[in-house]
Structure 1
Amino acid sequence: MKDLQKPVANLGKFQDAFVTASGQTRASVPLSDPETLWFNTGTLCNIECTNCYILSSPANDALVYLSEAEVQSYLSQIGERNWPIREIGFTGGEPFMNPGMIAMARAALERGFDVLILTNAMRPMMRKTVQAGLLALREAFGDKLTLRISVDHHCEALHDKERGAGSFAKTIQGMEWLRDNGVRMTVAGRTVWEESEAEARDGYAALFAAHGFAIDAHNPSQTVLFPEMDETVEVPEITSDCWGILGKSPDSVMCASSRMVVKRKGAKSPAVLACTLLPYAPEFEMGETLAEAERPVQLNHPHCAKFCVLGGASCSA
């Protein structure tokens, strides 16, 4: 497994949760409108991508499989805390590596939530038992279920450069199965490539048209393009004054509306994290319950600046 330690960068920055390196008050984000609760189903994946932010691979079990019972517990806590959650998201790793994925999705759907599953649509999703489960969920819940497919680039060569030779063709095969069986799809791509957003969206539009995928490439909620998350790049720390300078509100940042549940290898219980992007940063672990996760989040990481505040990205649909 790859080294989980942070690369050396931004020396002197992001050291104090409340004060920046220049001595200014660090920005924080209250949980103002919880809309999405994420579950990381485990870091095991059928492939190992070149730049996976969570270092998922066939060997990385740093985050172990969540169970249906554990998911049910947090779904109950949503009601107990009166959180206005509309969406339950499942991410990994590859969620369909987890044998309980269909049952966990059903548990959320039966409680009335929209469900979003992030997948590469490759072999784990294409197992007969998983296909049967997806068809049953589609029959019972229709478009309340969405699968967001990782298509790193609309060009096969660049996608395979990131995900391995032959991965593009396998993902397209999985998407064609979803298309033919009426399962709602969206796509997640990346902006690491040397092209404008307009060029990227036009490329995805051509890909979707060629395969008859009912996905709008120019709608950011249907085709999400994520900025690269590179901790070796120098980024500014976000101070409390930055909101006014940037003309942004703390409510626009992802941790104002979401939390993520993970289970670390060897842990007795799952934990709630402030951010889907920082599973290995202990300072972003908030406790074992949703009640403990209601406190504000200090923006004490390079991803907070580059991905969320300055990049304006969000993992939710």
Structure 2
Amino acid sequence: MTGLAVAAPKRLDPAKFQDPVVTAKGERRAVVAFAGLRTLWVNTGTLCNITCRNCYIESSPRNDALVYITAEEVAGYLDEAVALGTPLEEVGFTGGEPFLNRDLPAMLRDVLGRGLRALVLTNAMKPMMNHAAALLDLRAAFGDRLTIRVSLDHHDAALHDLERGEGTFEKTMEGLAWLARHGFTLHVAGRAAFGGEGEAAMRTGYADLFAAHGIPVDAADPVALMLFPEMDAEVDVPEITEACWGILRKSPDSMMCASARMVVKRRDAAAPAVVACTLLPYDPAFELGATLAEAARPVALNHPHCAKFCVLGGAACSR
């Protein structure tokens, strides 16, 4: 083998991200105040039709750590959001593969029927196509208030398939093309560092792919094509202190947990729970209660994902 050797990433200091109040160096940890619920995320369940090599939530055809949430349970949270007077604008559905949950069309109709926007994260493969008729009905009834975000890890088929399995690129592109033909509002999610390219080259590659297949996604738009940083909680990353906001020229109000929460339903749990964000569905330190009212409190940035993904990576799961 030729070429330069790539140094192994530095592993995380075990003293970091232990105390929600102070960092390993004794500095005051950054905390994000809750500014009001604008985006409610729903994890439809961790079951997925494929097994990816680096899925942060470990979704697979066998992982049901988060079980299927029901349309009735989601409706209860939507009713609570109204009762609390929240500024809720959008409800996002993630998994697992959301279209494996048979209640998803009913949940979408409920959300859209309330005048809210809906966003679905999907691999656009067979589970989505099993709901083709329902999707077309929703598109006809609610138009652009429904957005489908398709996961396409790389614009090169071989690299995408390396992560998601042989033949998955072709199947996802078929689903993406179907959505485009029927006029759905489309976004695409890729991985910023996958393949070793810089962001500009990645966006050019996606632009060429979209043009070749008639996919109406602007690859230069960071919302239409979201390139997410890698998430490995064992790789070293700086802790975020109160001083970081000024140093980085960022506002805590721009963080996902300032305006979003996610509902999950754990296996064997009697009822769903509300967690701080989409990235931390399993960590008990980020479970905030059973209701939206209980979850309307500050979040200490006490996890590597808070630092690498949100603060330093500048990523957000919603628009």
- After TM superposition, the score normalised by the length of structure 2 is 0.95
Structure 2 equivalent of residue 21 of structure 1: 24
CA distance in 1, matches of 2:41, 2:16: 28
1:84 and 2:87 correspond: yes
Contact 2:161 2:169 in 1 (8 A): yes
Q: Which runs of 4+ in 1 moved over 3 A?
A: none
Structure 2 equivalent of residue 156 of structure 1: 157
SS at 1:224's partner residue?
strand
Amino acid at match of 1:133: A
CA distance in 1, matches of 2:299, 2:13: 20
Structure 2 equivalent of residue 55 of structure 1: 58
Amino acid at match of 1:289: T
Amino acid at match of 1:142: G
Structure 2 equivalent of residue 111 of structure 1: 114
CA distance in 2, matches of 1:248, 1:191: 21
SS at 1:143's partner residue?
helix
Query: 1:92-103 to 2 correspondence within 5 Å?
Result: 92-103=95-106
CA distance in 2, matches of 1:157, 1:117: 25
Q: CA deviation at 1:244?
A: 1.2
CA distance in 1, matches of 2:148, 2:64: 23
- After TM superposition, the score normalised by the length of structure 1 is 0.96
Structure 1 equivalent of residue 259 of structure 2: 257
Structure 1 equivalent of residue 302 of structure 2: 300
Structure 2 equivalent of residue 272 of structure 1: 274
SS at 2:292's partner residue?
coil
CA distance in 2, matches of 1:312, 1:184: 24
Contact 2:39 2:318 in 1 (8 A): yes
Structure 1 equivalent of residue 134 of structure 2: 133
CA distance in 1, matches of 2:13, 2:70: 38
SS at 1:90's partner residue?
strand
Structure 2 equivalent of residue 204 of structure 1: 206
Structure 2 equivalent of residue 291 of structure 1: 293
Cα displacement string for residues 91-139 of structure 1 (whole angstroms, at most 9, x for unaligned residues): 0000000010100111100001100000000010111xx1110000001
CA distance in 2, matches of 1:239, 1:214: 41
Q: CA deviation at 1:180?
A: 1.6
Contact 2:36 2:296 in 1 (8 A): no
Cα displacement string for residues 278-303 of structure 1 (whole angstroms, at most 9, x for unaligned residues): 11100000000000111000000001
Contact 2:12 2:237 in 1 (8 A): no
Cα displacement string for residues 157-188 of structure 1 (whole angstroms, at most 9, x for unaligned residues): 00000000000000011111111222221100
CA distance in 2, matches of 1:275, 1:176: 30
Structure 2 equivalent of residue 220 of structure 1: 222
Amino acid at match of 2:112: L
2:75 to 53, 56, 72: 72
Q: CA deviation at 1:33?
A: 4.0
More deviation, 15-24/291-300: 15-24
Structure 2 equivalent of residue 12 of structure 1: 15
Structure 2 equivalent of residue 5 of structure 1: none
1:180 and 2:181 correspond: yes
Structure 2, gaps ≥5 residues long: 1-10
1:309 and 2:311 correspond: yes
Amino acid at match of 2:109: R
Structure 1 equivalent of residue 5 of structure 2: none
CA distance in 2, matches of 1:73, 1:33: 18
CA distance in 2, matches of 1:146, 1:33: 22
Amino acid at match of 1:16: D
Amino acid at match of 1:22: K
1:246 to 248, 259, 265: 248
CA distance in 1, matches of 2:302, 2:288: 14
CA distance in 1, matches of 2:234, 2:31: 23
Query: Percent identical across equivalent pairs?
Result: 61
Structure 1 equivalent of residue 283 of structure 2: 281
More deviation, 146-155/17-26: 17-26
Q: CA deviation at 1:9?
A: 3.2
Amino acid at match of 1:207: L
Structure 2 equivalent of residue 237 of structure 1: 239
Amino acid at match of 2:231: M
Structure 1, gaps ≥5 residues long: 1-7
SS at 2:128's partner residue?
coil
1:35 and 2:42 correspond: no
CA distance in 1, matches of 2:276, 2:84: 17
